[in-house]
Amino acid sequence: MTHYYYAACTLGLEQVLYDELRALGLAEQDVRVRRGGCDFRGDAATGYRACLWLRSAVRVQHELGRDRVRDRDQLYRLASEIDWSRCITPLQTLAVDASVRDSFANDT
């Protein structure tokens, strides 16, 4: 099963991160350089290898949902469509920590 991930890094280290992901065995078409990190795709083992071996990434995030949103209402709708029961139970809590860069939303 293919999963989508985002690895964040310090600005300016995107190419280093890209090279590290390629060294993990990811194909060129499976990695995309973005400002402040790289998108990549692979199976769960790929995600685990990234968490274990990437040195330039400050974190590796597993994407639970993906869509283009243009305002807060669309973002809220996308978040409400995610099957959160795959990650947490009704007895657990969810904390949201956000940082915004180059976005329509200028507050977190």
User: pLDDT tens-digit profile of 71-96?
Assistant: 888 888 888 898 999 889 989 987 76
Q: Which residues contact 41 (CB under 8 A, 6 or more apart)?
A: 2, 3, 4, 5, 30
d(CA 97, CA 74): 19
List CB contacts of 64: < 8 A, sequence separation 6 or more. 82, 86, 87
CA distances from 1 to 24, 43, 45, 50, 104 (A): 18, 6, 10, 16, 32
Confidence of residue 69 (pLDDT cuts 50, 70, 90): confident
Q: Which of 35-39, 66-70, 104-108 is the least confident region?
A: 104-108
In the numeric block, the tokens 């995600």 are attached to 47
Confidence of residue 26 (pLDDT cuts 50, 70, 90): very high
